[in-house]
Structures are given as C-alpha cells and as structure tokens.
C-alpha cells in the first residue's frame, strides 16, 4: 500500500441531518446561530460569501497542498445532494483551487455549496449564474496544478475552525458558522430561543422605542460609573 500520510481517502457515510433540522438551522441569521453557540463557532473573517445563496449542509472535507486541486476533483465525485464541499488549501496559496467548470459539474450533482479556505477563479460565473453558495478567501486568475497529494474526509482547519466530515456549515453574508455534527440538534433548539428573544426585542423597538437590555443595567451597576458635569 502507498504511504497514506497526506494521501488518503476515507469513504465515510457522513451523518446527514433531516431537512427539518437543517431548516431550523438555516432560518436564523448565522449571527444568531453563533450567539446560540455562545459566540465561538464562526470561521475567520477572511472566508467571504461570493454570491448571495444561503449556505446550510453537512461537510465533505478535503485537504490539498498549495494551488493543487487533484483531490478536489476526486471529492466532487463523492458528494451527495445537499453536501457542502469544504476545502483547506495551503496557507501561502496564490492560485485558484476551483472555478466555473468544476462548479458547473457540481450543479447536477445538487451540491449544497462550496467553502474554500483558499482562492477561486471565474468569479463572474459565481456571482451571476452559480445556483449554490460559494465561499472563499478571494480570487486569482492563476489556475491550479493537478498533481496531488491530498486527503478526503479528514478533519481540516478551514477558516480557522476544525471541520469534521458531517459537521454542518451555516453561512450568510456575515460569514460561516460550523456546527459540530454531534451538536446539531442542540444548536437547532438553542437558535430558536435566540430568534424568539431577538424578535421580542425588535418588536419592542418598533412598538414603543424601548430597547430591552437587562444586561446593560446589570453591568452598569457593577461599574457604578460617575456622571460628571463639565
């Protein structure tokens, strides 16, 4: 057998949450979902939405070297409908890992989206035609090499967060939140409570201009801040 270190493909049947659970996660803004997870689960701010389609689905993960997409091509044949292809490229990359041809190939495969910790190209297609969400650090006309190696369905550090195969990624223009696969139900429940709280605050602001902030009164009592006159 070839040396599998940095050169392996796990054929895992990732957990795929029910449509109902995914719906609950995706109907809230990513910010509220992150609040529901105590504000610790967002990818770093370099990972940006390149079109406006909402992102929500379980991850198939890929690790590739700087500027090389051979194993992304292999992973494209492993995604099921709704899956999010999550790629960790090398840190010093100056070339795109994916572009229009690959994205067009993923359309009939009904991929749920693509999140690239690295660069993409063919931005016009992504912004104007691609029917699913694409997130990446940016774009470059420099194209990828296709030499390998790589790993598929291993834990990757994408956008500064550990992403395991089957973790659920939820994204909107604010960025991407990673829900560990064992926490999906708890997160879906917790986000509903955050949503209800936000809606009641918004309603009061709209109704009578009152912003309910019990935490502010509590903190300011602790500070006992003097009000001075000049």
Ligand X SMILES: O=C([O-])CC(=O)C(=O)O
| Peptide bond connecting 149 to the previous residue in cis, omega within 30 degrees of 0 | yes
Least distance in angstroms from the C-beta of 147 to ligand X: 12
Radius of gyration, CA atoms only, the chain: 20
Q: Choose between 34 and 122: whose C-beta lies nearer to ligand X.
A: 122
CB-wise, 55 or 72, nearer to ligand X?
Answer: 72
- Which among ligand X, Mg ion, none contacts residue 138 (Cβ within 5 to 8 A by kind)? none
Give, for 185, the enclosing helix (H) or strand (E). Answer: helix 184-208
Q: Which is nearer to ligand X, 42 or 72 (CB)?
A: 72
User: Is 204 a known ligand-binding residue?
Assistant: no
Question: How far is the C-alpha of 138 from the C-alpha of 125, rounded, in Å?
Answer: 14
Among positions 35-74, residues that touch ligand X (CB under 6 A) are 69
Measured CA to CA, the distance from residue 111 to residue 98 in angstroms comes to 14
Q: Total number of residues binding Mg ion (CB under 5 A)? A: 3
- The gap between the terminal CA atoms of the chain, to the nearest Å, is 79
Task: Using alpha carbons, select from 161, 159, 177, 158 the residue that is nearest to residue 169.
Answer: 177
Rule CB under 6 A: which of 103-162 touch ligand X?
121-122, 143-144
**Choice between 108 and 226, CB closer to Mg ion:** 108
Q: Is 122 near Mg ion (CB under 5 A)?
A: yes
Residues 6+ positions from 169 with CB-CB distance below 8 Å: 55, 56, 57, 58, 59, 84, 86, 113, 115, 163, 176, 177, 178, 179
Q: Is 213 labelled a binding residue? A: no
Nearest approach in angstroms of CB 104 to ligand X is 8
Residues that bind Mg ion (CB under 5 A): 99-100, 122
Feature table: binding site for Mg(2+) = 122
Residues that bind ligand X (CB under 6 A): 69, 98-102, 121-122, 143-144
Feature table: binding site = 99-102, 121-122
């Amino acid at each position: 057998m070839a040396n599998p270190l940095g050169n392996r493909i796990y054929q895992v049947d990732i957990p795929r949450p029910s449509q109902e659970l995914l719906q609950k996660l995706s109907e809230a803004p990513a910010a509220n979902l992150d609040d529901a997870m105590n504000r610790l689960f967002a990818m770093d701010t370099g990972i940006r939405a390149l079109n406006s389609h909402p992102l929500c689905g379980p991850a198939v993960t890929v690790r590739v070297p700087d500027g090389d997409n051979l194993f992304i091509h292999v992973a494209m044949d492993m995604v099921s409908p709704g899956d999010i292809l999550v790629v960790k490229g090398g840190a010093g990359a100056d070339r795109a890992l994916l572009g229009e041809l690959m994205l067009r190939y993923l359309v009939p495969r009904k991929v749920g989206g693509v999140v690239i910790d690295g660069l993409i190209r063919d931005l016009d297609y992504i912004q104007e035609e691609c029917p699913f969400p694409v997130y990446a650090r940016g774009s470059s006309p420099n194209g990828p090499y296709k030499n390998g190696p790589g790993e598929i369905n291993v834990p990757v550090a994408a956008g500064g967060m550990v992403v395991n195969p089957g973790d659920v990624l939820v994204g909107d223009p604010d960025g991407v939140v990673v829900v560990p696969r064992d926490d999906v139900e708890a997160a879906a429940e917790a986000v509903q409570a955050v949503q209800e709280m936000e809606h009641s605050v918004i309603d009061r602001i709209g109704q009578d201009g009152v912003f309910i902030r019990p935490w502010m009164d509590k903190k300011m009592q602790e500070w006992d801040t003097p009000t001075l006159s000049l």
